[in-house]
Each structure stands twice: as C-alpha cells, then as structure tokens.
Chain A
Amino acid sequence: MKMNGTFMRGLRVAAVALFVAACAQTRPDNIANSTVAPGTAQDFVVNVGDRVFFTVDSSDLTTEARETLDKQAQWLQQYPKYTVTVEGHADERGTREYNIALGARRATAARDYLISRGVSADRLRTISYGKERPVAVCNDASCWTQNRRAVIVVNNAGS
C-alpha cells in the first residue's frame, strides 16, 4: 500500500476583527408640516417637492417631473446659498450594476434640466444609489413607482 505524504498548503488566514453594525442614517423624507419657515430645506421638501418619478427603465422626464423641476429651479434661484445633491434611484426589479448606472442617468437628467432652467452647474452634484435605497418596500407596482426617482437634496449651507 502506498501512502504519499503532503504537507497542507499555507493555512493561515489573517484574523479579521468583528465590527458592530453602524446605525443607518435617516432623512426627513415625509415631513407633513406646512408651517415651516420659507427658504429652509424643509420648505423645499414640503412646499416645492424634493423628488420626481420615472417610468420603468427610463430616465425621460415626464410632464409632471418637469413641472416639479421648474418649481425647484425657481426656489433654488431664490435661495442661492444652497448647493444641491441630486440622487438617482431605481426600483428593485433590475440587476444591481445596471441599476447603479440607471440611477446615475436619472440624476443626470434631473440635473441637466435644472441647469437648463438657470441653476448654476457648480451648485449641483449627482450621486446614484441604484436600487440600494428604496423608500417604499412593498411588493407591487405602487412601491416600485415611488422608488424610481430622483431626489433633490438641499444641503444646508454654512448657516
């Protein structure tokens, strides 16, 4: 009977520390208070509307989206101290990597429209979260519709 000797190949794996999950950040998405002070970020969310929605697999701006963006552009010109982050999002009915690019496309469409309405490009930054940040979590079209969005986040200027 034959017995071959082999030493096990290098077997050490560096220890990796266990970390505690950090708390997820929250944002005031659904403020239902119309008595907010004009010119605040809350004013923008409540009285102007901070988001526009898209149809499936599309980054075309609907008529409704253009109306919202028109109001946003007006507000942003009235309050020039703010910079803005345009977030692009996708619903969960797509693959992760494509949705990251689709979210970027939506953010770009919203940003470009705001620029065309007179908002200075250097006040606008875009980021895509793909399908990673849903606001509605049910399993039907009503939720997916809410998640296919661009959200215009007003950054608090040094005030």
Chain B
Amino acid sequence: MHVLFKRWAAMVAAVLGFIALGIQPSNALVEINVAGGNIEPLPIALLVFGGDDAKLSADIVSVITADLKRSGLFRPLDPQSFIQKDMDVNTQPRFGDWRVISAQVLATGSVFRQSDGRLRAEFRLWDVFAGEQMIGQQYFTTPENWRRLAHIIADAIYERLTGEKGYFDTRVVFVSESEPKDKRVKRLAIMDQDGANVRYLTRGDDLVLTPRFSPTSQEVTYMSYAGGNPQVYLLNIKTGQREVVGNFPGMTFAPRFSPDGQKVIMSLQQNGNANIFSMDLRSRRTTRLTNSAAIDTSPSYSPDGRQIVFESDRGGSQKIYVMNADGSNPHRISFGPGSYSTPVWSPRGDLIAFTKQHEGRFMIGVMKPDGSQERILTEGYHNEGPTWSPNGRVIMFFRDTPGANGGPQLWMVDLTGYNERRVETQGFASDPTWSPLLE
C-alpha cells in the first residue's frame, strides 16, 4: 500500500478506535470472506478546472470524480464544502483551507483550446498535509477525446496514490441483448469502462457469444453462428475486418488470446466431447492440448504464458484444472462443493476468477492458482463470466434475473467483495471482456 494510504489508514484507525466500541458490524455480507479488508476510501478534493470552457472543464472533472469514486478507494469531497473556491493551476493551494475540510489530496487543473483547435490540459495533484506537489502533467489532445483525457488523469491519480496502474482509460466489449428472451438478438458492442460511448460492432443477424479482448491489440476473438456454422472468429475493432480462426472439423467455441496476442486457445467439439486446441495466428498451426472423453472448455492462459487453466467434467462434474501450456501435467485445483466454470487467470498472475454453482446459486469467486484460499466475491440467482480489469483489482461479470422479462446486466466488484456496482448499459448486456489500458 502506498504511504499516503497508510497514513490515511492510521488516521482512520485512530478515530474508529473510539467509535467502533459497542457497535456490532453489519451482518449483510457475512458470506463474503474479505482478504483485503474494507478499505476506508481516501478523501480527495477535485477542484473544478480553470480554463476557457466552463462546461468542458466541469465535464472533465465530473468524469474523473466518477472514476475515482467507483473504484471504492477514493471519497471525492463535496465541492460545496471547499473554502478555496477557485485557484490558478500554477499557484500553490492554501493548504490550510484543504486540511480544515479533511482533504488528504487535492487535484487542480485547467483546460484551454489552443489556436490549432486542440485542447491543452494541465493538472496537478497535491498532498495537502505534506504541502507538496505529487503530480504535475500537461496533456494535448483533440476536443472529442475529452473523456479519454479525464480517464487518463484519473489513472494518473490512481497510480500515484495506490502505487498500481489504473484501469479507467480502458474499454469493454460485451454482448448487447435485445428482443424477448425466446427471440433474443445479440450484437457485439464496445463502450468505455464507465459505460459511455457505446458503439455496435455486429449487426445482430448472427448469434454472437463470448467476445474476448486481445491483451495486445484492438482485436476481439468471439464465437459466431454466421452461416449456421458456429465457429471462433477474430474481429479487428478498428477496421471491422473479421475472419474465421482456423479450419476445424466441427464447432469451435470458448476462445481466448494468449498473453502475447499471438495465439488463440479454444474448444473444438467432436461428437459428445470438447477438447482444447491452440492456434498460432501467424503460422496457422493448430495444436491439440487435451484429449479426453469429456467437456474441456473455457481455457485461459497464465500471464507468463506457461500454464493454462480450464474447466472439465472429466471427473464427473465441472471442476477447474491447470495444465502446462503444452498440455502436460493436467491437475485439478478446485475441490469445493458444487461445480466450477469459466476460470480466468488474473493479469497479475496471483488469482484465478471463476463462476461457481452450488445449491441453485451462482457465484463469482477467486482462488490462488494452486486452488487454495477460495473466496466468493458475490452470489445470487445467476452471476457468470468474470473478466479482469488490466490491473487485476476489479472483476466485471454479468448478472441475470429470472423469468420472461428477466435479462443480464453488467456488474463490477473489486477484490474486497464490498465495492459492487452496476455498469449502466441501455438494455440487457452479457459476456463483458475488458481491454488492456489504451495506448
């Protein structure tokens, strides 16, 4: 944890030492075993940016504020409480005014339109108690990229204060669902991680499922029923170009990229069995990795590319297995009750997220790659399909609701299990896949 968070945690502990006595903690989250603990969010003051376009400045600060708040790690303070109402980005704040309202950090900035039409944004982050500048940055971009500018500033704040990369300047590809449940139309769509700027990538005339973002490029691999022949495809998000992955004698599904983006790993259905194959996108060479009379699917590489986690019912019901990238040494890692599916290796390598079904409930959880320290982060009627933020701190998934009018929506939860939020989409949405940080 970063030193500033440590200082804040110590201050919170000192206060709670008085008021926590005799207060029974809430029982609402009793099933959730929290490893990281419930972090008290850091109070941050985000002063409206100066500049020549008041609305644009306000919009940018509002996107930064929403990003930081959604992370659960920050508590943006109410601007009504600010004593120093406006200040030039190039002057030192009156730190005393910010200490009085208990701000730990203060962000100030400005945005100007240059004569060439581009935006010039300046931004500073201040440690209020130390009275020091923590970040000073200048950015240039075109006006239509103002939301990305805001996300990049939010990432800079997140990284400076947590010591880890942020995840705000990212996108999510998902399956947008419309029409009644028995006539669903599904389209691939892309949006910013906060739900803004939705665009459709496919038309809806073919059933499309399970998009997975490339960790290295603006491409997704997904399953499409185009031409009545369900297969794995590649789609270039920028050009719209798509192609079938490989030439397999049967249905291919459950695709995912290798960490270097050079391979796609997937299941091939052969009669009643599904086995896992990889295909090198350059040489087009395919390699069989499992050969079992079972359903082996949902493969996902470790970030070093050396291992693959997958689900299999080879032992009678769906469990999670890990094997070497060449298919050797498959061994089961999940041993709890119920069935386990859709394992996804964290980009940090430290955890595997999964869907678990037990006694009619669907949960999203994480476990270490050796299967130990299983923790359930959320549970309910139906939760499915985790995808990791690129920094491995947040999981997005979809939650379905029952009945004729029910349908899936996107949610995110961080690794503490406490900070769970819906990701707003128009209509139903499922199968989210998180992009890497944009370039």
Contact = CB atoms under 8 A, between A and B. Distances in A.
Nearest to B398: A96
B122 interface: yes
B1 to A, nearest CB: 25
Interface residues of A, number: 52
Contacts of A102: 295
A19 B187 contact: yes
B200 interface: yes
Given A101-B267, A128-B269, A137-B180, A14 B139 contact: no
A16 B210 contact: no
Contacts of B404: 137-138
Interface string B101-120: 00000000000000000000
B185 A21 contact: yes
Given A95-B342, A98-B311, A24 B185 contact: yes
A153 B318 CA distance: 30
B57 interface: no
A2 B298 CA distance: 49
B245 to A, nearest CB: 16
A85 to B, nearest CB: 8
Interface in A85-124: 92-98, 100-102, 104-105, 108-109, 112
A26 B385 CA distance: 28
Contacts of A59: 272
A127 interface: yes
B274 A104 contact: yes
A102 B152 CA distance: 43
B357 A97 contact: no
Interface in A1-52: 1-11, 13-22, 24, 26
B122 A3 contact: yes
Contacts of B317: 57
A95 B200 contact: no
A127 B223 CA distance: 14
Contact of A8 (B141, B203, B230, B269): B141
A10 B105 CA distance: 30
B243 interface: no
B187 A21 contact: yes
B195 interface: no
Contacts of A21: 178-179, 185, 187, 203-204
A63 interface: no
Nearest to A15: B199
B297 A101 contact: yes
B183 interface: yes
Interface in B165-206: 178-187, 190, 199-205
Nearest to B201: A16
B25 interface: no
Contact of A97 (B133, B148, B210): B210
B237 A10 contact: no
B209 interface: yes
Contacts of A137: 180-182, 403-404
A151 B269 CA distance: 19
Given A8-B145, A127-B228, A96 B203 contact: no
B46 interface: no
B209 A132 contact: yes
Nearest to B400: A92
Given A8-B152, A104-B274, A134-B182, A19 B207 contact: no
30 contacts: A1-B133, A8-B139, A8-B145, A8-B148, A10-B439, A11-B141, A13-B218, A14-B237, A18-B200, A19-B202, A20-B204, A24-B179, A92-B382, A95-B341, A95-B384, A95-B385, A96-B431, A97-B254, A98-B297, A98-B311, A101-B267, A101-B295, A105-B272, A105-B273, A112-B271, A130-B209, A137-B182, A139-B402, A139-B403, A139-B406
Interface of B: 90, 92, 122, 124, 133, 136-142, 145, 148-149, 152, 178-187, 190, 199-205, 207, 209-210, 218, 223, 228, 230, 237-240, 251, 253-254, 267, 269, 271-274, 295, 297-298, 311, 313, 317-318, 341-342, 355, 357, 360, 382, 384-385, 400, 402-404, 406, 431, 438-439
Given A19-B200, A100-B223, A101-B295, 14 more contacts: A1-B90, A2-B133, A11-B145, A13-B238, A14-B239, A16-B200, A21-B203, A22-B203, A24-B184, A97-B254, A98-B298, A105-B273, A134-B182, A137-B182
